[in-house]
Amino acid sequence: MQKRKLGKSSLEVSAVGLGCMGMSFGYGPPAGKQEMISLLRTAVERGVTLFDTAEVYGPFTNEELVGEALSPFRGQVAIATKFGFKPDPNGGPKWVGLDSRPEHIKEVAEASLRRLKLDAIDLFYQHRVDPEVPIEEVAGAVKDLIQEGKVKHFGLSEAGVQTIRRAHAVQPVTAVQSEYSLWWRRPEAEVLPTLEELGIGLVPYSPLGRGFLTGKINENTTFDNSDIRTIVPRFTPEARRANLVLVDWLSRIAERKKATPAQIALAWLLAQKPWIVPIPGTTKLHRLDENIGAVAVDLTPADLRDINDAASKIMVKGDRYPEMLEKMTNI
């Protein structure tokens, strides 16, 4: 597996990481625990060294799963987790808004360290920007945790460029996590140039469009009630029917390159910048191998021109989030 550095930081990880959320939460009923432990450990054997989780996934169960599975590999892998949501004060499974108060950040860090069985969190993201807490206070709290040896690197998720700059001035930001793929390219306008200027890495989540760019979803696909795609406008049957033109085109390029549509989508991301590390998620071994295989797909400058020309002519139908969730991004 090729390695990449996240920006100018010292954090070097595999060129493709693994998003772990779907193993416990978000895409239907949780997968079998032992099966997922086996998958996570196989990913390490295949060369994956960046694993992404969060306290909110489950909640808590995904961190516990990742901690148990990866405890034999302490020091060999980098585990990223996130803070910033406010748990239900009544102890329920729901989250009731945002909370990035410094004292809460430090409480979350302690709890995540226990669940992940770590001495230090490799990469600690603010999950969503909290408009009630100045970002300087957030960065300062993480800086304290870094000085205490409890966190190694600071990250932001779905933050706007001014927030990134203000945070970076207090505590250098190692990575920004944002949705970025062939069907969500908004980060190219402002975020990518800012990250390049500041020497910050980008970790795209949903690099396969929540599974749509694999070519395995169509207008007739049904989703479990607990699957977040049931509330995503881009996944209505009408939107899926319209968006299949993108997958059809990806499939044609994949056939030409003797690859799969998912591999082309990931290879395209990897070709954008040397400091981009996508984190596709999966619960299946053959998908893990497929995603890792994208590293070996060589897209020539001519291939990239063809992809960009074609993508620019395709209008993706449907918003990527319901309005309430979209309001929490790019702040």
> What confidence tens digit (pLDDT) does each residue in 45-83 have?
999 999 999 999 999 999 999 999 999 999 999 999 999
Which CATH number, 3.40.50.300, 3.20.20.100, 3.10.20.30, 3.30.1300.10, labels domain 7-326?
3.20.20.100
Is residue 209 within 8 A of residue 181, CB to CB? The reply is yes
Q: Is 180 a catalytic residue?
A: no
Q: What is the pLDDT of residues 91-135, one digit of tens each?
A: 666 788 999 999 999 999 999 999 999 999 999 999 999 999 999
Residues with pLDDT less than 50, the chain? none
pLDDT at 93: 67
Give the residue ranges of DSSP H helices in 148-199: 161-170, 191-198
Best CA proximity match to 135, nearest among 161, 153, 97 = 161
Mean pLDDT, all residues of the chain: 96
Count of beta carbons in the 10 Å neighbourhood of residue 48: 22
Is residue 102 within 8 A of residue 65, CB to CB? The reply is no
Taking the C-alpha atoms of residue 43 and residue 284, their distance in angstroms, rounded to an integer, is 11
Best CA proximity match to 108, nearest among 122, 92, 89, 121 = 121
Q: Is 236 helix (H, G, I), strand (E, B) or coil?
A: coil
| Domain layout of the chain by residue ranges | 7-326
Q: Is 97 left (phi over 0), alpha (psi -120 to 50) or beta?
A: left
Taking the C-alpha atoms of residue 81 and residue 125, their distance in angstroms, rounded to an integer, is 6
pLDDT at 96: 81
Kindly report the pTM of this predicted structure: 0.97
**Among 57, 125, 180, 205, which one carries the catalytic annotation?**
57
User: Residues 175, 84, 210, 16: what is their CA dihedral angle, to the nearest 10 degrees?
Assistant: 30
Structure tokens given for 229 = 């795609």
